[in-house]
Structure 1
Amino acid sequence: MSRQDGMADGRAAIVALPVDDATLAAWHVLAQDAGAANPFYAPAGVAAGQLLPESGRVRLLFVWQGARLIGALPLRTKTARGVALFVENWDQRLRALGEPLVLPGHEAAFWQAALPALARAPGQWLRLSALDRDSASTRELLAVLGARGRPVYETRRYARAVLHAGLSSAEHAAQHVRGKVLKEHRRLRARLADRGTLRFERLAAGEDVGPWVDALFALEQTGWKGREGVAAAADPATEACFRAMIAAAHAAGELDFHRMTVGGQPIAMLANLERGDEAFQLKIAYDEEWASFSPGVLIEMEYLAYALDVRRLLRVDSCARAGHPMIDRIWPDRRTIVSLIVPHPTLRSRLLCSAQAMWRARRQRALNRDMIETAA
């Protein structure tokens, strides 16, 4: 379907990649203006993610109001033995957020148009993963479903660390990091400076990003990811995806790349994707030979000062797993991430999703009993 077909009556259109130049330009604009920043669903993020084998056949749900693109969501149909099971917001291993790109104030209009189109897509139900529970889009989705009397099932929920604006870095440290810990950080920095000149540097706009990425991957190989064969450089597809995402962000002026060196030797690096006044931590790595100096913590503390005092970002998403042992201690705020199952408005879909919900509930009760018995 062309952009003009999707525009004709203002309804949603599900299209295949690649899209035409006019649609691509509108998608770029939407990615910049969306109420919930999501670089993983911007054109460059989708292009990079398609380099991964699990990306599958990606399609795009676009919602237009006249000539204006108000919403976009990459999609994939999950199949088993050639049968379409469900349609879902596109997922792959580097995607940290599944929020659709929606213009602020148009969230209800987006879902009112999107839900009927998604119900016509192949699959028995709709799965939406890695949503921000408190985003305007998720709130409006639940409101639209509620107004139509449609059920929704939450299948996963976790909280991950985020950094919010409001305090200076000094105020943040004073309120959220124990004085004993801050003293230890100062001691570690002094010990590092004894080994050579200690520098915290940031990749310049016109600088070649390639050597920085090479150094980042080399640092990651020194740690447990390298030993277990799960570092980015251990898998050609993962490496290609990271390189493409970082290179595209750098070209667009949306890459924030930091490194910590001692005597000119990189011992910790941190790559972030920026989108407006938000940032997403894409990858952090440090040289394990320097682990006793806590280089990962030190570069995060230095970045905290940069994010709050220099860039004055409204939010930085750690993109870390729940209960991360390092970042959770220095970033006290949390972003609640949820995954939802939405039955289509058919009896078959409702019954299938209801049966799944009952199975999950029974499984959770059994797990809870096992935990109680083990503790006893």
Structure 2
Amino acid sequence: MTVHPAFPADSSPVDPELAPLTVRVVDPLALSPMLAEAWDRLAAQASEPNPFVERWCLQSALHLLDPDRQARLVMVRDGSDGPVIGVMPLILSARYGRVPIRHVAGWVHANHFHGAPLVRAGFERLFWSILLGWCDASHWARTLLHAPRLTEDGPLHCALMDVARVRGREAVTVHHEERAFLDSDLSPGDYWNASVRAKKRKELRRQANRLAELGAIGFRRWQVGERVDDWVDAFLQLEGSGWKGRERSALASQNDTAAWFRAIIAAGAEAGRLDMRAFELDGRPLAMLINFLSPPGAFSFKTAFDEDYARFSPGVLLQQDNLDILSDDRIRWADSCAAPDHPMIDSVWRERRRLVWVNVPLSGTADRIRFALLTRAEGFWRRWKNRTTTAKQQDAP
């Protein structure tokens, strides 16, 4: 088993009173069949679904997007052969932003849009207690645990704040974002009519009619058993042809992200997590969308459109078709995974999901001092930034 030098390799109880609960650092590419099955089972029992931490998605990310093998997969389980109650990728970081402070953080990459660990429902407080206790007792851990992109007021966020409070610590929210979210009992048609202004709906119908004058238009959805390679090739080409390709931020712009994308689409199809859609003109995609299904939720992972046809709003027309995702009996809500204030999806999906980044100090005296100094410095910086922003807004003509 290959592990980071600072991480303990063996299974070890955190506290005798909590035995036989154990924390293990495992090699995600050399899992035993038993651990692999336990990880998959946990995904179905998680209090908050997160496809980015499910085995079919995270294994490839750790393999292809962390070439220096800095991140490690941490499992909390009930004994040596009992059920896994939590899984979280962690990394030991020497810097906190620009500040040289060593700390422990949830590992994420650029396309990892939700930071919540997978935790068995009902075990949220126990998971955080074990994890924090393990960090406290480890000589390699320093300063704080940084948990990125938790759902505000969700079970995991609330449990972390409660555990920190009980342990005599102050968990601090250091950043927050809000993004488009879909959660409604309305039919797709009724939701569309309620969400999009009548004038905009009329314009979209006109654009669709104009586009139909150029050829046959239609929506297509990937079917189970259908080859995914053709879909993957089409998506990478479509995304790479636009601004992301020009700015070298498209998935195909880098070999590692292209390989990872191909791997997770194939794995997602095999795991029954994949939903892919296309809006086509004469069989050629003008817009494509990829959803990951993690019941009871769905995550709108990636979308792309042909900028040469932007005047016809193919991406918005595809989002109208995508509203039927809530017709799936397994799915109650969908996360857009979009940037805050996204001009397109914010105009279609009315609900919002708020995400928070949380810091929790470790228990050592030096850790608490560093944490207090860092928190105070961040507070000063945020107040300065807010004053500067306000001043600029007031000075603007």
> TM-score surpassing 0.5?
yes
Alpha-carbon distance change, 24 to 55 in structure 1, aligned in 2, over 3 angstroms: farther
State the Cα distance separating 1:310 from its structure 2 match.
Answer: 4.5
C-alpha deviation, 1:318, in angstroms: 0.6
Q: CA RMSD in A?
A: 2.1
2:26–2:74 Cα contact (<8 Å) kept? no
Does structure 1 residue 176 correspond to structure 2 residue 195? yes
CA distance in 2, matches of 1:250, 1:183: 36
- Deviation by residue 1:252-293 (Cα, 9 ceiling, x = unmatched): 121000011111111110011111231111110011111100
> Which amino acid in 2 is paired with 1:12?
T
- 8 Å CA contact 1:155–1:338 kept in 2: the answer is yes
Residue pair 2:26, 2:75 contacting (<8 A) in 1 also: no
Residue 181 of structure 2 corresponds to residue 162 of structure 1: yes
Distance change (3 Å), C-alpha of 1:288 and 1:55: farther
Paired letter, 1:10: P
| d(CA) in 2 for partners of 1:104, 1:16 | 22
* Percentage of matched positions with identical amino acids: 34
Unmatched 5+ stretches in structure 2: 1-8
- Structure-2 change in CA distance of 1:22 and 1:338 (3 Å): same
Q: Determine the structure 1 residue equivalent to 2:157.
A: 138
Structure 1 residue 79: deviation in Å? 2.6
Secondary structure of the structure 1 residue equivalent to 2:322: helix
Q: Cα 1:204–1:371, aligned 2, differ >3 Å: closer, same or farther? A: same
| Counterpart Cα distance in 1 of 2:83 and 2:159 | 20
Alignment correspondent of 1:195:
214
Q: 1:108 aligns with which of 125, 133, 136?
A: 125
How far the C-alpha of 1:312 sits from its partner, in A, is 6.2
Question: What letter matches 1:334 in structure 2?
Answer: R
Task: Output the TM-score relative to the length of structure 2.
Answer: 0.89
* From 111, 116, 136, the counterpart of 1:94: 111
1:272 aligns with 2:291: yes
Q: 5 Å matches for 1:119-268?
A: 119-121=136-138, 122-124=140-142, 125-268=144-287
Question: Whole-Å Cα distance in 2 between the matches of residues 93 and 276 of structure 1?
Answer: 23
Distance 1:368 1:151 in 2: 23
Q: CA deviation at 1:240?
A: 0.9
Give the match for residue 59 of structure 2: 47
CA contact (8 A) 1:151 1:342 kept: yes
Q: Name stretches of at least 5 consecutive residues in structure 1 with no aligned partner.
A: none
Q: Which deviations, in whole Å up to 9, do the C-alpha atoms of 1:145-164 show, x marking residues without a partner? A: 11222111111101111111
Quick one: distance in 2 between partners of 1:248 and 1:325?
31
- Secondary structure at the counterpart of residue 273 of structure 1: strand
State the partner residue of 1:28. 40
CA distance in 1, matches of 2:186, 2:10: 47
Cα gap change, 1:310/1:197 in structure 2, threshold over 3 Å: closer, same or farther? farther
Q: Which residue of 2 aligns with 1:62?
A: 75
Q: TM-score w.r.t. structure 1 length? A: 0.94
> Given residue 73 of structure 1, which amino acid in structure 2 is its aligned partner?
M
Cα deviation code 1:158-204 (max 9, x no counterpart)? 11111113111122122221111111121122112221111101011
Q: What SS class does the counterpart of residue 369 from structure 1 fall into? A: helix
Q: Distance in 2 between matches of 1:367 and 1:278?
A: 36
